[in-house]
């Protein structure tokens, strides 16, 4: 398969081990953000440890593992069927930790979202994540993202509340 990863804008010199750690994270992100490849947890299970954890209490409160996140994200992508990462804005690793800031975009062109019919509205957003990779697999994934910014652009807000 050809490398379909978005460009990296800013990075630093990394050791070969850190480069491999970054590659694991980018592969997880490539699959998790692919409307065609992300079928949920089974799509990324080979990249995660058995005891992996996920932290994003304000945006994905019910997700406890990177596998849960892949499941949840697959549902989002059923509504935003053209969702994709446009760039890895900042990427660097220190030993087994990876910081990744990325930009993404998409439109509500797929399935209804919480009974809101597809509008074609487009959105662009940024998010950041910190990963810990152990023995070549993702152990932890912490995500920081302003979900409401995206939802406002897509028309998924009902007054001050999201739908």
pLDDT in tens, 79-138: 999 999 999 999 999 999 999 999 999 999 999 998 899 999 999 999 999 999 999 999
pLDDT at residue 2, rounded to an integer: 46
Mean pLDDT of the chain: 91
Give which of 135, 140, 133, 127 is closest to 65, Cα–Cα: 140
Q: Which helix (H) or strand (E) holds 68?
A: helix 66-79
pLDDT at residue 162, rounded to an integer: 53
**How far, in Å, CA of 32 to CA of 66, rounded?**
9
In the predicted structure, residue 33 carries a pLDDT above the cut 60: yes
For residue 59, give every residue at least 6 positions away whose Cβ sits within 8 Å of its Cβ, in sequence order, or none: 143, 145, 147
**How far, in Å, CA of 132 to CA of 2, rounded?**
26
In the predicted structure, residue 1 carries a pLDDT above the cut 50: no
User: Regarding beta strands 97-107 and 84-94, do their DSSP bridges make them parallel or antiparallel, or are they unpaired?
Assistant: antiparallel
What is residue 47's DSSP assignment?
G
Model pTM above 0.75: yes
Distance of CA 72 to the CA centre of its chain: 10
């Amino acid at each position: 398969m050809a490398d379909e990863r978005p460009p990296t804008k800013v990075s630093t010199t990394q050791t070969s081990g850190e480069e491999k750690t970054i590659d694991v994270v980018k592969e997880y992100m490539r699959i998790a953000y692919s409307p065609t490849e992300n079928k949920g947890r089974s799509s990324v299970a080979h990249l995660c440890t058995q005891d992996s954890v996920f932290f994003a209490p304000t945006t994905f409160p019910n997700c406890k593992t990177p596998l849960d996140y892949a499941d949840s994200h697959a549902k989002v992508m059923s509504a935003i069927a053209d969702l994709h990462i446009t760039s890895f804005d900042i990427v660097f690793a220190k030993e087994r930790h990876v910081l990744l800031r990325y930009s993404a975009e998409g439109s509500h062109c797929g399935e209804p979202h919480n009974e809101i019919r597809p509008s074609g509205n487009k959105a662009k957003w940024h998010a950041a994540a910190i990963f810990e990779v152990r023995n070549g697999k993702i152990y932890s994934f912490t995500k920081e993202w302003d979900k409401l910014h995206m939802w406002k652009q897509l028309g998924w807000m009902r007054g001050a509340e999201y739908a």
